[in-house]
Amino acid sequence: NAGVTQTPKFQVLKTGQSMTLQCAQDMNHNSMYWYRQDPGMGLRLIYYSASEGTTDKGEVPNGYNVSRLNKREFSLRLESAAPSQTSVYFCASSEARTGTEAFFGQGTRLTVV
Amino acid sequence: LAKTTQPISMDSYEGQEVNITCSHNNIATNDYITWYQQFPSQGPRFIIQGYKTKVTNEVASLFIPADRKSSTLSLPRVSLSDTAVYYCLVGTPEAPGSARQLTFGSGTQLTVLP
């Protein structure tokens, strides 16, 4: 079982460049999430999605866009990267009606120079 | 969403039992309590979840008093590999067709010493 797969694992961007972080889950989960984690900090929710075609803002959505392409895939786009977006990004998925158990990917380490 | 409070850090020695307490005074009737473990450079991993009283699995136990305003994660006989950040979350199961905001606090850094 792959679980939650994120690509790429590492990325270096120049300020102003754009990129899309990909996330896919094979557990048939309804809900998917994007978080960022800065050094020594907890996770902060960027966006989340309850189902295909629906997305909602989390705690820190500014500077990001998301697409829930289908039930499996949830992508995060940085249109114009800034050094403040240097962070580790985690994607997660969960299933409705099972409490608050979620499954996380291994993360994408993004550096914006 | 119920706010949680947990210690920033804890130290323990190998072989000891570790108890990490989380305070969640505003927990709602339908809220569950979930604990996650995170190693450096990895995503959080689900450890245990409960609603009331005591829950035990192969990794940990979760103690929840009757008023549910706090909970305690108990790790028996810790080893060096249990050094990690532990997060306590409080929230409700998803309603069909909707998602919840899963909010993580800063967690508790547990360091197990030899």
pLDDT of residue A69: 87
A59 touches chain B (CB under 8 A): yes
pLDDT for residue B95 is more than 70: no
Nearest residue to A49 via CA among B100, B96, B38, B39: B100
Alpha carbon distance B33, A77 (integer Å) = 32
Contact B44 A43 (CB under 8 A): yes
Candidate from B32, B97, B105 with C-beta closest to A100: B32
Contact present, A31 and A50 (Cβ < 8 Å): yes
Mutate which of A33, A100, A109 to disrupt the B interface (most B C-beta within 10 Å)? A100
What would the pLDDT profile of B17-55 be if each residue is shown by its tens digit?
Answer: 999 999 999 888 888 889 999 998 899 999 999 999 999
Q: In the predicted model, what is the mean pLDDT of chain B?
A: 89
Alpha carbon distance A104, B43 (integer Å) = 5
Contact present, B45 and B104 (Cβ < 8 Å): no
What would the pLDDT profile of A17-76 be if each residue is shown by its tens digit?
Answer: 999 999 999 999 888 999 999 987 888 999 999 888 889 998 899 999 999 989 999 999
pLDDT for residue B99 is more than 90: no
pLDDT of residue B98: 55
Burial (CB < 10 A; 0-12, 13-18, 19+), residue B6, is buried
Task: Give contacts of B7 with chain A, Cβ < 8 Å.
Answer: none
Nearest residue to A22 via CA among A58, A67, A84: A67
Our CA angle for B94, B92, A77, nearest 5°, is 55
B109 touches chain A (CB under 8 A): no
